Amino acid sequence: MKKLETFDEIARELKRRAGHIEMSVNNLMTILQYILEVVELTKAKGPQKKTFAISLLNQIIDEADISNEEKNECRNMIKNGTLSNTIDLVITASKKKTKINKNKKRLSLNFNKASILQNRFSNKRHSK
């Protein structure tokens, strides 16, 4: 797929991919996921991608057929930094800078040891 260059191209691609999702506070993160995927198809770099993503989200909120109260809830998540921080988290995780699932093997071994010890202890108590 060719790189998307204009805001209109990006918006069209987003509507093609996520147009079936109804805008709501509950779906905000799902919509953000699609937005981030589409913004990745642009020639934009770092901070510009984040700006595109937030601008797209604002446009979707403005055009959504939802109550003003719900629109304000969505906008507040942008204003208070929740969406910006979420974007930063996704970027950090995608660059494998977030230590998630790194100690999975060690944790499961410790879990198994704890289970064995717990079973031994409870068996001794019950046999008395």
- Cα 111 to Cα 107: distance, rounded to the nearest angstrom: 6
Q: How much is the pLDDT for 117?
A: 57
Kindly tell me if the per-residue pLDDT of 46 is higher than 70.
yes
Kindly tell me if the per-residue pLDDT of 126 is higher than 90.
no
Kindly tell me if the per-residue pLDDT of 12 is higher than 90.
no
**pLDDT tens by residue, 58-117:** 999 999 999 999 999 999 999 999 999 999 988 888 887 666 666 555 555 555 555 665
Query: What is the domain partition of the chain in residue ranges?
Result: 7-97, 101-128
Note the pTM of the prediction, 2 decimals: 0.70
- Cα 70 to Cα 66: distance, rounded to the nearest angstrom: 6
Alpha helices in 2-103 (DSSP H): 7-18, 28-39, 46-63, 68-79, 82-94
CA distances from 69 to 24, 25, 31, 55, 72 (A): 11, 10, 19, 20, 5
